[in-house]
Amino acid sequence: MNVRMAITPPSREIPLAARVSCNDCSLSQICLPLAVEPEQLDELDRIIRRGRALKRGEHLYRAADSFEAVYAVRSGALKTYAMSEDGDEQVTGFYLPGEIVGMDGISTAYHISSAKALETSTVCEIPFAHLEKLSIKIPSLQHHFFSLMSREIQEDRALLMLLSKKSADDRIAALFTTMAARQERRGLSSRLFRLPMSRYDIGNYLGLAVETVSRIFTRFQQQGLIRVQGREIEILDSERLCGDSRLQIIKD
Amino acid sequence: MNVRMAITPPSREIPLAARVSCNDCSLSQICLPLAVEPEQLDELDRIIRRGRALKRGEHLYRAADSFEAVYAVRSGALKTYAMSEDGDEQVTGFYLPGEIVGMDGISTAYHISSAKALETSTVCEIPFAHLEKLSIKIPSLQHHFFSLMSREIQEDRALLMLLSKKSADDRIAALFTTMAARQERRGLSSRLFRLPMSRYDIGNYLGLAVETVSRIFTRFQQQGLIRVQGREIEILDSERLCGDSRLQIIKD
DNA sequence: CTGCATATTTGATGCAAATCAAGAATGCAG
DNA sequence: CTGCATTCTTGATTTGCATCAAATATGCAG
């Protein structure tokens, strides 16, 4: 009955689809399985379609596609964006490995935003109808899912605050801070990381012009807060970066 | 077993708590009960604590309060707001009768925002732990709740778009449009209504200075788009208001 | 390696909305 | 009704960021 493979295969180009259980996944402690007891993991495993691959620029789903599933990012990175009637794009989020994308659309039965790979990525597909059924059998899964959606709301709220009250400096600083935190959650360095998205996407997400983003990156580097090398970022002074990117302007 | 009162009592100062069933509530078709079959409504009724009253300015909950319940607004209006570390307030939403408030906090077990009555209001309290249990027995309720949270996400996204891409004019126009739609949903006039919140709250919510809000109200009136009388609003030209509050500036 | 497309940086200028500063209207307690 | 406290409106001024324009860097197809 137990179809899991005991050991992670000996590396080198084994298609991810071959990993038939969440058990074998290095992300299990930050992804859906964390809400499921080991003995129930099989049930979750059975409904998940693993290892769908996406090339850079490829869509996972588009706005108006019917809503069928949510997706756990396994590798790479995605952005979600919405289009207003008058055609301009708004980036609404970035999704890194271990995070769940696609929870918009539950209420409408179709997606209201599109999701696009920022780089070569793989995702695990979790059909939502199955997940709902399973949530009825596994209360902790239901709770976890409520919780995930609630967190999504919280993140949007934080972004709202950023966009309506904070200076361009504060917004960029916040981006670095949250990226660092998410790196850390995955067990990676929170000091040194690579931004998966373009300056354009950053500007769009934070409600700033590309030029402004670029200027602030440069200035933060001059102020010794970070070191920038293209998309590679090193946080040099997280204190000043978090705390008072605004105050120091007043002082200086 | 059936403890419902058959008929709505003959008006005049009957405490709302006396209405012991959602059945008797005029909002049942837009509130939680819409997700529940009549024969299961008793179960929902049993877990709801009805008719908690709030005076203008009173808090329903505060940030950091432990998260115990969500609330259906019965009458009046509430705002939710969050506080950033540096002390400034961000209004994150307004809640009208039939709407559910308090869904932040599921993931953290404590509220991350505060909810305050904008005017004398009553709410029905729905303990979340009970709701989760009941959702397991009533799949349509679980789905409805997922759906509500998803809609909350969608609304935040729309607001994000507004704040990062749109002019002050567009933001105010959007506020009128969504308020009108919500009035309509309640079966009230979408043309003539009263804003429950102050200019200050509007400015805060939309990321604008109070002065800017006031100026735009005045100008919209001069342009014949609306009629304003304090907090009373009459929509005179919803076409132009929705469509092209920006375009007309270019033309004119 | 070469060349074109795309992404990023840098500088100069303009404007939408914030801020500063009063004044007017409204609400409410006594 | 009177006076004080909010809330709202209006005008003058400042400013942060967008926009325009152009140079430079980077990636990648052939």
Quick check: A108 and B82 CB within 8 A?
A: no
The alpha-helical segments, DSSP class H, found in B83-209 are: 128-137, 139-165, 168-185, 199-206
State the Cα–Cα distance between residues A89 and A252, nearest whole angstrom.
37
Q: What percent of chain B has pLDDT over 90?
A: 65
Average pLDDT over residues A44-64: 92
Identify the H or E element spanning B55: none
> By the CB < 8 Å criterion, does B63 face chain A?
no
Quick check: B154 and A207 CB within 8 A?
A: no
Residue-wise over A18-37: b if at least 16 C-beta within 10 A, else e?
ebebbbbbebbebbbbebbe
Average pLDDT over residues A61-90: 91
Identify the H or E element spanning A85: none
What does pLDDT average to over chain A?
86
pLDDT at residue number A244: 55
- Output the CA angle B140-A123-A41, nearest 5 degrees: 60
Q: What percent of chain A has pLDDT over 70?
A: 88
Rounded, the Å distance between the CA of B228 and C1' of C16 is 24
- Is the CB atom of residue B96 positioned under 7 angstroms from any atom of strand D? no
pLDDT in tens, A152-169: 888 888 888 888 889 999
> By the CB < 8 Å criterion, does A41 face chain B?
no
pLDDT at residue number B106: 86
pLDDT at residue number A4: 41
State the Cα–Cα distance between residues B173 and B175, nearest whole angstrom.
5
Average pLDDT over residues B196-224: 96
- List the single residue in A84, A133, A160 with the smallest CB-CB distance to B159: A160
Yes or no: say if A132 and A91 are a contact pair by the CB < 8 Å rule. no
Higher pLDDT, A108 or A10: A108
> By the CB < 8 Å criterion, does A155 face chain B?
no
CA B208 from chain center: how many Å?
20
Quick check: A147 and B107 CB within 8 A?
A: yes
Average pLDDT over residues B33-52: 91
The alpha-helical segments, DSSP class H, found in chain B are: 41-47, 128-137, 139-165, 168-185, 199-206, 210-222, 238-243, 247-251
pLDDT at A198 over 60: yes
Nucleotide nearest to B211 (CA to C1'): D9
pLDDT at residue number A9: 41
Q: Please state, in angstroms and as integers, the Cα–Cα distance from residue A22 to each residue in A28, A232, B60, B198, following that order.
A: 6, 30, 41, 51
Average pLDDT over residues B182-187: 93
Quick check: A92 and B157 CB within 8 A?
A: yes
What letter does residue A139 receive in the DSSP assignment?
H
Question: What are the chain B neighbours of A106 within 8 Å (beta carbons)?
Answer: 146-147, 149-150
State the Cα–Cα distance between residues A175 and A246, nearest whole angstrom.
15
Q: Which range among A57-66, A166-175, A227-236, B100-109 shows the weakest confidence by mean pLDDT?
A: B100-109
CA B202 from chain center: how many Å?
14
Domains and CATH numbers, chain A: 16-162 (2.60.120.10), 166-251 (1.10.10.10)
Yes or no: say if A172 and A219 are a contact pair by the CB < 8 Å rule. no
pLDDT in tens, A82-94: 987 777 889 999 9
pLDDT at A143 over 70: yes
Average pLDDT over residues A4-22: 50
Question: What are the chain B neighbours of A250 within 8 Å (beta carbons)?
Answer: none
What does pLDDT average to over chain B?
86
pLDDT in tens, B43-69: 999 999 998 999 999 999 999 999 999
Q: pTM of this prediction? A: 0.84
